[in-house]
Amino acid sequence: MVTMRDVAQRAGVSIATVSFVLNNTKPVTPATRAKIELAMTELGFRRNVVARALASRRTHIIAMAYPALDHRFGLSAAEFFTSAADAARKQDYHLVLWPVGNDGAELTELVGQGLVDGVVLMEVQLDDPRVGILQATGMPFALIGRTTSLDGLQHVDIDFETTVEEAVGHLYGLGHRRLLMIAGDLSDPRFRSYGPYVRTEAAYRRVAAEYGVETVVFDCADTTRSGQEAAAKVVREYSDTTAVLVVNEYAALGVASGLKKNGRDIPGDISVLALLMATETARLADPELTHMRTPGPELGHLGTESLIRQLEGAEPLPPHLVPAKLHHGGTTAPPRHD
């Protein structure tokens, strides 16, 4: 078994200096740290996480709380997780996924067990009970998302205003004047105060009014079947629509297949633009969906950094709003002029 003494001898330093690096208890010059880390790699030294946790009363484990029972797991969510895990690893932390509910009941029990140093909250509600629970326990946390009141809360989020402005501007620039938004289902109690749905719809209503186009919005659940049903409704009740924006990534796939099933050519008869979608998901459609790429990699990294800065007593990370970016696929084009 490789010991700290072995590492110290290989690096040409004292055992105490090796301990400083392992436990981050005292500053060590970058050159010395590099020698020690190289020696650990060459010798195959593995840090004793349990011993370090007992010594420092910290686990160096952070949790990402994801309400998996309420929100379907898609490629967009996966991008948040993998980016957050990578950011944690680079700062000598480990990230675990906690699939807990939005009501916070399980979170209370998990936090009380002292398993993690802090929590990153995902899929944030405008009035999120998990925030109050974490504040009451004193557990450090950061939000990927925003509540209505943000006083003292470390947060990063999608810039929904800019995202919707770019999406509508793209379609309007192509010549579309009869637009329709298939929004998230705010009638569902699980999503009544879900930030992305509320903010995206509000932004669309504002932007559509500014462009002077009729504002047509209807709800759709987060399934491909619901998207197919929404597409049938578009054909049946809004036949003059030339472009559709869809909020949910599963629904967007259903809308695209549903429109084709109902005899509509995409983008010849109607353009489809998916909001908040991972590029790999967009490629599942034929043709590939034009979409606003969800900034999951960026926000996963920023949310984790925000939490770790709290844990390390560093300067707080300023709030970041990151817009989704337009990725051109094959589902938007100028409208036909019959």
| pLDDT tens per residue, range 12-50 | 998 888 878 876 667 888 899 899 889 888 888 766 554
Enter the CATH code of domain 4-56: 1.10.260.40
Q: How confident is the model at residue 56 (pLDDT cuts 50, 70, 90)?
A: very low
Summary mean pLDDT of the chain: 89
Q: Which residues make up the CATH 3.40.50.2300 domain(s) of the chain?
A: 61-158+296-323, 160-294
Q: What is the mean pLDDT of residues 114-141?
A: 91
Overall fold of domain 61-158+296-323:
Rossmann fold (3.40.50)
Cβ-count burial 118-139 (b if 16+ within 10 Å, e if not): bbbbbbbbbebebbebbeeeeb
Q: What is the pLDDT of residue 1?
A: 65
Contacts with 320 (C-beta within 8 Å, 6 or more apart), sequence order: 156, 157, 299, 302
CA dist 67 and 69 (Å) reads: 6
Q: What is the pLDDT of residue 43?
A: 87
Domain 160-294 classification at class level: alpha beta
> Cis omega before residue 335 (within 30°)?
no
Q: Which is higher by pLDDT, 251 or 192? A: 251
Residue 37 DSSP one-character state: H
Q: What is the pLDDT of residue 323?
A: 97
pTM, two decimal places: 0.81
Reply yes or no on whether the pLDDT at 106 is more than 50.
yes
Q: How confident is the model at residue 115 (pLDDT cuts 50, 70, 90)?
A: confident
Q: What is the pLDDT of residue 214?
A: 93
Residue-wise pLDDT for 292-320, tens only, equals 999 999 999 999 999 999 999 999 999 99
Q: Which residues pair with 244 in a beta bridge?
A: 180, 272
Two structure tokens written together for 111:
């936090």
Reply yes or no on whether the pLDDT at 338 is more than 90.
no
Reply yes or no on whether the pLDDT at 233 is more than 50.
yes
Query: Percentage of residues in the chain with pLDDT exceeding 90?
Result: 66
CA dist 22 and 12 (Å) reads: 16
Q: How far is CA 24 from CA 27, 47, 159, 268, 319, in A?
A: 7, 13, 36, 61, 27
Reply yes or no on whether the pLDDT at 140 is more than 90.
yes
Q: How far is CA 188 from CA 6, 70, 176, 227, in A?
A: 60, 11, 31, 16
Reply yes or no on whether the pLDDT at 236 is more than 80.
yes
> Cis omega before residue 287 (within 30°)?
yes
Q: What is the mean pLDDT of residues 250-262?
A: 96
Q: Which is higher by pLDDT, 82 or 2? A: 82
Q: How confident is the model at residue 53 (pLDDT cuts 50, 70, 90)?
A: very low
Q: Which residues pair with 144 in a beta bridge?
A: 156
Two structure tokens written together for 183:
């929004």
Two structure tokens written together for 177:
């004047």
CA dist 167 and 92 (Å) reads: 39
Q: Which residues make up the CATH 1.10.260.40 domain(s) of the chain?
A: 4-56
